[in-house]
Amino acid sequence: MPNNAQIHLDNRPQGEATASNFKLVQATTPPLADGQVLVRHHYLSLDPYMRGRMNDAKSYAAPQPLGQVMQGGTAGEVAESRSPKYRVGDKVVGMGGWQEYSVVDVSQPGALRKVDTTHVPLSHYLGAVGMPGVTAWYGLVKIIEPKAGETVVVSAATGAVGSALGALAKARGCRAVGIAGGPDKCKYAVDELGFDACIDYKQHQDAASLSKALKDACPNGIDGYFENVGGMVLDAVLLRMNAFGRIAVCGMIAGYDGAPLPMAYPALILTNRLKVQGFIVSEHMEIWPEALAELGALVGSGKLRPRESVAQGLAAAPEAFLGLLKGRNFGKQLVKLI
């Protein structure tokens, strides 16, 4: 029974989330029953959706319970096994949460997935070749449905979802335009991720100004938009959408603290005959194999070179997560445990 440090949600945020919402707890792992494996986590995945689950609000997912381990994706290796399907040393991805170890009942569908780290580093299975990559794939392929030559825009372009979106859009012959915070991220989006252009939203005080920059970056208008942030960025993009444009709504991080986040010009949905559609990738498990195959090939061939921000040690998880919500990460935010 190894010691197992955990981070619990101790109390819910009042407005902005803070480190005091979390609590580091020392526990031990229980003995394994038949059909269970013990997974030692190498990486925790930190993702914006977790902020929404910290609220006690009606949403697509049940709220994160108080006094329990923060839920989230993990990548690691099997440390002990009482299942014939898993051997010690197998590399696996699951939903182990913010702790050093997890005990997994392998008969639960989707609870654990063996991964091959020959060509793809283990950590990427939490990013480009994992849930964030599949999220980009679903929004692009199933909602935006881009044609070659169209212009596709994504916000939070250097994040785990945005960087995959860019590579997937380029693979379909689209013009890919990113929106990101700061000159370093924008330079990286163009130089390393293959975006045709990237706009630094921090250079713009309002939607009108950002919209003007979008006009320059998207001379033929915008046909598809993948929304990660909401607020001013959404308003600016709406002003540049072409007729019959499609908007995949994946996240609205700007509103997660409960601040009002209105859409200024909903009438544009009518005048430009737009489709605006929200989705959650976990409700579309049927597309994961196809999406993961394409994403794995893009990473394996070097066409998608995802960047990672890695915090060290479980105790660093809360601050790293709060930094992610502020856009302080650069690429996929992970916590490395060993």
Q: Does 252 bind a second copy (CB under 8 A)?
A: yes
d(CA 248, CA 73) in angstroms, rounded, equals: 23
Interaction of residue 251 with a second copy, rule CB under 8 A: yes
Closest CB to a second copy among residues 173, 266: 266
Residue whose CB is less far from a second copy, 193 or 229: 229
Asked whether 77 and 96 are in contact (CB, 8 A), the reply is no
Minimum separation from the CB atom of position 105 to a second copy (A): 28
Asked if 79 contacts 101 with a C-beta cutoff of 8 angstroms, the reply is: yes
- Which of 234, 237, 298, 299 contacts a second copy by CB under 8 A? 234
If DSSP codes are grouped into helix, strand and coil, which group holds residue 97? coil
d(CA 90, CA 322): 32
Work out whether 272 is an interface residue with a second copy (CB under 8 A): yes
Q: Near a second copy by CB under 8 A, which window of 15-23, 85-93, 197-205, 254-262?
A: 254-262
With CB under 8 A as the contact rule, the residue among 19, 243, 315, 338 that binds a second copy is 243
Residue 312 makes contact with a second copy by CB under 8 A: no
Contact 309/329 with Cβ under 8 angstroms?
A: yes
User: In angstroms, rounded to a whole number, what is the distance separating the alpha carbons of residues 182 and 186?
Assistant: 6
Taking CB under 8 A as the criterion, the residue among 106, 179, 276, 311 binding a second copy is 276
In this chain, which stretch among 18-26, 65-73, 277-285, 319-327 interacts with a second copy, using CB under 8 A?
A: 277-285
Burial of 289 (0-12, 13-18, 19+ CB in 10 A): exposed
From 230, 296, 327, 331, residue interacting with a second copy (rule: CB under 8 A) = 230
Any contact of residue 270 with a second copy (CB under 8 A)?
yes
Query: Which pair of structure tokens corresponds to residue 142?
Result: 């199933």
> Which backbone phi and psi does 158 adopt, to 5 degrees?
-95, 0
Residues near 41 by beta carbon (within 8 Å), at least 6 away in sequence: 74, 75, 76, 96, 99, 100, 101, 102, 337
Q: Give yes or no for residue 206 binding a second copy (CB under 8 A).
A: no
Residues in contact with a second copy by CB under 8 A are: 52, 58-60, 230, 234, 243, 249-252, 255, 260-267, 269-280, 283
